[in-house]
Amino acid sequence: MAPEEAIDDLPPSAKLVYKVLEYNGAMTQKQLVEESMLSARTVRYALERLEDAGVVTEDIYFADARQSLYQVAVEGTEEQTADAAAAGGDRA
């Protein structure tokens, strides 16, 4: 499923957070709050919804381990791996 399809049914705040991440690249929650001008609670909720939809990933922020770094998920990595394995099994 394309990221646009995955976020169609999400709230506007989640769509905004997704677009901010898409435009700016990886950001912390604090940076997302500042950039999007949404409340911290709204950004937290949006990130949770985006992670559940599989369009955003959370990584360790090495500059400050108390924070996480969020970024748009690379499209189709798991699906491509599964497809490649299935295609490889069909070849004999």
All structural domains of the chain? 3-90 (1.10.10.10)
Q: What is the spatial distance between Cα 33 and Cα 91, in angstroms, rounded to a whole number?
A: 50
Q: What's the rounded Cα separation, in Å, for the pair 38 and 19?
A: 13
Statement: residue 40 has pLDDT above 50: yes
- Confidence grade of residue 12 (pLDDT, cut at 50, 70, 90): very high
* pTM, rounded to two decimals: 0.76
Type of residue at 15: K
Q: Would you state the structure tokens that stand for residue 85, as one six-digit string? A: 């394995």
Whether the CB-CB separation of 61 and 67 falls below 8 Å is answered with: yes
